[in-house]
Amino acid sequence: RHLLEATNAMDGKVLSKEPPDIENVLALNPRIPRHASLMPTTATQKARQHWKRNQTKGCTTCGSLKNNFDDVKHTTMSERAALREAGRCLKCADAPCQKSCPTQLDIKTFIGNISTRNYYGAARAIFSDNPLGLTCGMVCPTSDLCVGGCNLYASEEGPINIGGLQQFATEVFKNMRLPQVQDPSLPLSEELPDSYHAKVALCGCGPASISCATFLARLGYTNLTIFEKYDYIGGLSSSEIPQFRLPYDVVSFEVELMKDLGVKIELGKGLGDNGVTCRSLKQEGYEAVFLGIGLPEPKRFPAFEGLTSSHGYYTSKDFLPLVSRTSKPGMCDCSSNSLPSLSGNVIVLGCGDTAFDCATSALRCGAKRVYVVFRKGFTNIRAVPEEMQVAVDEKCEFMPFVSPKKVIMKGDKIVGLELVRTEQNDDGTWVEDEDQTIKLKCSYIMSAFGSELGQTAVAAAMAPVKMDRWGLPEVDPVTMQTSEKWIFCGGDLDGVTHTTVEAVNDGKQAAWYMHKYLQSLHGLFVPKEPCLPKFFTPIDSVDISVEMAGLKFENPYGLASATPTTSAAMMRRAFEAGWSFALTKTYVLDKDIITNVSPRIVRGTTSGHIFGPGQGAFLNIELISEKTCAYWCQCITELKRDFPTKIVIASIMCGYSKEDWTLLAQKSEEAGADALELNLSCPHGMGERGMGLACGQDEELVRNICRWVRAAVKIPFFAKMTPNITSIVGIAKAAKEGGATGVTATNTVSGLMGVNTKGVAWPNIGKDQRTTYGGVSGNAIRPIALRAVSAISNALPGFPVMAAGGIDAADVALQFIQCGAPVVQVCSAIHNQDFTIVDDYITGLKALLYLQSIDELQDWDGQSCPTVRHQKGKPVPKLMDLIGKHLPSFGPYMKERESIVAQHKEEVAPLDQSKPEVHRPVFQPKKPVPTVQDMVGIALPRITSYNDLDNKQQAVAIIDEEMCINCGKCYMTCNDSGYQAITFDPETHLPHVTDDCTGCTLCVSVCPIIDCITMIPRPTPYLPRRGIPLAVEAVS
């Protein structure tokens, strides 16, 4: 390319036209059409098959699924998808989604945490209310529960994928490999009364027992034992929910979290086995027993009496455990066993979740076609839509309104099933019409009619518990106590629970009332109001306090002098929420009191057409506080009296008057303020009155004002900087020379957010619709604020800086800390949500600091783990390893991919396709956890002048074709904004970076898939394209 340019220059060719090789690169670059398009329908019909990504309607079978237990959930998400979906959530007041969750999960909090990339905080919120949060994120019937109450159902884009977000956050936490620990605020186990060492037995290691044991252990109980009949943990989660919906390592992970708290498990010892009964447990000294054994027996239909798997008949409780044992790595030591071998047609009877699990599992065991047969119609299907959709996608057939009548046998093998038509009478009852029958050929029949207690030995082992008319224990729905006060019950066994999450809540409910019962046995009082401890890890003990200017801040987060501190009552609520400091809204002497206009605070336009929360910017023409100096001085006194550990900073403003500044500063100090902030930067309104910006843009005025205040008070004070100036460093130096303790960087940026098509701005005032330049705040000004903080910190080492401007997450706060500001002020983020966001910021910062001490996580970016090669959030095999080439995921290439993967899966047994995940031992810090103070300013040495940058160390882009979704955004931006260094294949739409890449990084910036394009060191020296070589003269 360089030689060609030189030759063209020498030959006098036109240089303002692209050379032929670039024209070839630009072949698919967008062009504005000059005419209407014309294409025969037949050509389009052919073309769309080439580009098709979804399933073809005419397809009656999908590719082979034999041995393929890869994730099939529609809800699974990558980090990109999770961030986008979490950003859609409104985080509603009194959120209906939470009220629809059996465990009352704080859904808006955990989704809010995800939106700020605080995945630990999200997982902590989830596990606090649901110890099986990952399991439930994968298998919860969310459309019937939390999602069913989502307020976004009332909008066009539809409800939030709550289950997918829950799965994402808890999986990220799983990869952190951290232990669960006791609530640090509770007494140590050796300090607790003897009642906390009472022996408690839990029968069955399913969701209800795991939940109950976890909450009891969090309360401080030290002698908890789960007795499990089988040689594996997890109950039905392990044995009857297939690997492609719920991997065994998920169950194992959650059980390990429970065991972190000291809970013991004894396998091969179940209720009714080897003499284990409720009475025997009591005789062994167990003061309370929890029954969470589920319903162990399948309900049977008379037509199938005497039939077994040898004939081709399975119940769901026969078939699904066989599949699980031979497809779930780590579940049991049975690697030599193979999946049940099916062939031909399989009929599955039932229409609940279990029936669909049988149907989709049958395909993976070799069935060629699966019929799901059920008595009622599609409107009566019990399974949740998410579960049914998988069966639809995998081409299972559905036969409603029929009931089994007779099994057709040939010798000792099933060859068919006779079915009878069912109809619903006007009174709602269902009847069978014997005149309408149908025979269906099949090789196997599976029944999924539900479960029952059945076993007399198990029922007898529950004595002396009273049974109801259905043969199940009588259970108080609130306390979960049976007729025997020392025996509690939950899960399927109570006859009310139908889902995993409801079983979890039964265990949670039982734990509290078991706690009350056990303490009453020892004569100890338990508060009436339930107070179950939350989920904790070592992260929660990280100290994020910091000292600045002689002041001790509990954490780096405070409220800026703005609308969140309109009143002292609001500051009080903020302190109660956990904010460590707050600035009053700026107040003045009574002679300078103001009255605001309205409207005055509007959404920004810098993030595009986003409506609702999540605004990237706001613009305001609000002035300072309308309240008097006397009000604020009294409130400062009250707040310091009631919150002595919190920092209260008085924000004050005057004109260029020594007397005024002296008087107002002294009044504020006398009121008890910990520090002052001198508002020298309000960008609108006040400057016209000789205040705010009018003072803050002149170094001499700033220097003198600071001298006056320094002479008037002894407490620290900070001059608030304006960004609306050529050099903010000069103003900061003037403040320091005047005796200021530090500065705040920065106030809002003066701007005009926009005008409508009629030339009217928003906000506008009165009939004349006039406006003025207002203050822009939020994420839009973050780069300006970061520059100001880092520039001041580099120029004035050790000079305290408080940061303000676009802080809306813990990782953003850490950026400002690393740029030199020990504490940060927040405003616009509260506009978008509420005061409770501080909990997100606190847990997020603790996690960011703690994870830096874990050597095994050094390749993480904050709380983001390395991106796994994926499509639709699910890992994809590297085809280069299988066939030596890349293939896109559409049309004929997708079919080829599926065929290659299917062939590979068929050749490898499920248990050999992956190894069990390892969750323990946990990752331990190999070095001290850094403090906030350790982080202050660590980025500054890397922020330098342009001339200090090394133009010899170049980088180039590389594209991961397995993750590419073939959109061509990288190709287009490189063509029309860059260096024409990416080709775009017309058939595969796979982009390729050529040797002409200059490393500009535009492609990375516009790529919609995280880490699909990355930058790597350039392998060859960089030779700029000069157009005309330096030694050649231009041709005139």
Active site residues: 682
Closest C-alpha to 162, from 228, 64, 88: 88
> Burial, 1023: exposed, middle or buried (Cβ in 10 Å; 0-12, 13-18, 19+)?
exposed
- In terms of Cα–Cα distance, which of 751, 846, 746 is closest to 787? 746
In 920-1002, beta strands by DSSP E: 955-959, 982-984, 991-993
The total of other beta-carbon atoms located within 10 Å of residue 171's CB is 20
Cα torsion 290, 296, 299, 300 to 10°: value is -160
CB 681 within 8 A of CB 746: yes
Cα angle for residues 704, 705, 710 (degrees, 5° grid): 95
Residues whose CB is less than 8 angstroms from the CB of residue 318 and which lie 6 or more positions away in sequence, other chains included: 298, 309
Sign of CA dihedral 563, 568, 570, 571: positive
What is the distance between the alpha carbons of residues 214 and 533, in angstroms, rounded to a whole number?
Answer: 10
Q: How far is CA 137 from CA 73, 169, 355, 536, 873, in A?
A: 11, 9, 21, 20, 15
Q: Where are the alpha helices (DSSP H) in 474-545?
A: 500-521
Instruction: Please report, as a single letter, which amino acid is at residue 548.
Output: M
Q: Three-state SS for 895? A: helix
Contacts of residue 185, defined as CB under 8 A and 6 or more positions apart, other chains included, come to none
Q: What is the DSSP string of 173-204?
A: HHHH----B--TTSPPGGGS-GGGG-EEEEES
Q: For residue 877, is the peptide bond before it cis, meaning its omega torsion is within 30 degrees of 0?
A: no
User: How far is the C-alpha of 73 from the C-alpha of 243, rounded, in Å?
Assistant: 11
For 234: left if phi > 0, alpha if psi spans -120 to 50, otherwise beta; the answer is left
Pairing of β 581-583 and β 742-745: unpaired
- Residue for token pair 């025996």: 487
Query: How many angstroms from the chain centroid is the CA of residue 472?
Result: 39
| Environment class of 138 (CB within 10 Å of its CB; exposed 0-12, middle 13-18, buried 19+) | buried
The HSE-up count of residue 248 (CA atoms within 13 Å, CB side) is 25
Using an 8 Å Cβ cutoff, are 324 and 251 in contact? no
CB 300 within 8 A of CB 350: no
What SS3 class is residue 112?
Answer: helix
d(Cα 190, Cα 209) in Å, to the nearest integer? Answer: 25
Instruction: Give the integer Cα–Cα distance in Å for 506 and 500.
Output: 10
Rounded Cα gap, residues 186 and 581, in angstroms = 26
Checking DSSP bridges between strand 742-745 and strand 717-720, what pairing results, if any? parallel
Is the bond leading into 247 cis (omega within 30 degrees of zero)? Answer: no
Contact 718, 802 (CB under 8 A): yes
């039905």: which residue's tokens?
236
Instruction: Tell me the C-alpha to C-alpha distance, in Å, between residue 912 and each of 65, 401, 527, 654, 787.
Output: 16, 41, 52, 75, 53
